[in-house]
Structures are given as structure tokens and as C-alpha cells.
């Protein structure tokens, strides 16, 4: 029987256009969410973590690629759990909402599992405008 071990939320911005954080260095990960999931002595077999997240961006009027990366740890060089790149075309004028879901099956069990979500882009002029969130849930059998 599946059991819920822990669930956490990192809510950086709840509303559309509630922040204005420019991405100032191309191809350099910028943190937008971090969670710590606490494990317990009663954790069973087959632990797994399910993630979901949202980031909204105002893009420059140019062909731009945006990469979302989730790592198990606190810095961008820690083990990558998920990575995806979206490319937007020149005709995009309104803020773009990027949503994602990811899984980490059978992570190493430590007293706390920390996951960090990063965003990077290949072109200057991209601005994080909100909403932004990053959620994770730890289950086991």
C-alpha cells in the first residue's frame, strides 16, 4: 500500500506579473524553487518523488531557448533529475507559462532529500514575471 511520507511547496510568486526578475547571464542556472522532503524511519520500499512546477517569463523578441533543470541537491552541478528545453519563436509577445512534471524513482534515503529547480536561457532580455512554484511529494510502498 502506498504511503505519503512528506510534501512541500516552494511558492516564489503567486500571481501573474507579481515579480520582475531578469535573467542577467545567459546559459547560467538561476534558482527559482527549492524544497526539502523529510524522510522517516517508517519509509518503505520503492521511494519516489513526484514534482511539478510553473515558471512564467516575458521573453525578448527573438528566438530564445529556456531550460528548466531539477537537481537532487542545492547547486546546479548536483545530480540532475530532470531537464527540458523549450524554444519560443519571434512572434511571442505575451508572458509565457512553462509547466513541468518530473519524477525521481528510488532516491537515496537520507534524513532530508533536497531538490532545487533552476531556469536558464540562451538570450538576454528574459524576465521572470510570475507566477512561480515548485512542489514535491515523497511516496513509498
Label residue 42 exposed, middle or buried (CB < 10 Å: 0-12, 13-18, 19+). exposed
5-61 tens-digit pLDDT:
999 999 999 999 999 999 999 999 999 999 999 997 778 889 999 999 999 999 888
pTM of the model as a whole: 0.94
Distances (CA, A) of 138 to 27, 54, 110: 30, 19, 12
Evaluated on CA atoms 103, 100, 11, 79, the torsion sign reads positive
* Cβ pair 54, 99 in contact under 8 A: yes
Amino acid at each position: 500500500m502506498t504511503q505519503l511520507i512528506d510534501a512541500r511547496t516552494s511558492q516564489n510568486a503567486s500571481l501573474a506579473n507579481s515579480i520582475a526578475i531578469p535573467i542577467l547571464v545567459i546559459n547560467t542556472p538561476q534558482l527559482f524553487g527549492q524544497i526539502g522532503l523529510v524522510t522517516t524511519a517508517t519509509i518503505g520500499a520503492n521511494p519516489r518523488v513526484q514534482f511539478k512546477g510553473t515558471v512564467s517569463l516575458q521573453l525578448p523578441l527573438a528566438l530564445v531557448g529556456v531550460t528548466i533543470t531539477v537537481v537532487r541537491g542545492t547547486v546546479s552541478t548536483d545530480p540532475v533529475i530532470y531537464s527540458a528545453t523549450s524554444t519560443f519563436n519571434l512572434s511571442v509577445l505575451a508572458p509565457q507559462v512553462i509547466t513541468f512534471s518530473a519524477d525521481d524513482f528510488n532516491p537515496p534515503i537520507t534524513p532530508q532529500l533536497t531538490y532545487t529547480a533552476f531556469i536558464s536561457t540562451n538570450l538576454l532580455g528574459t524576465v521572470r514575471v510570475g507566477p512561480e512554484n515548485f512542489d514535491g511529494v515523497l511516496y513509498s510502498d
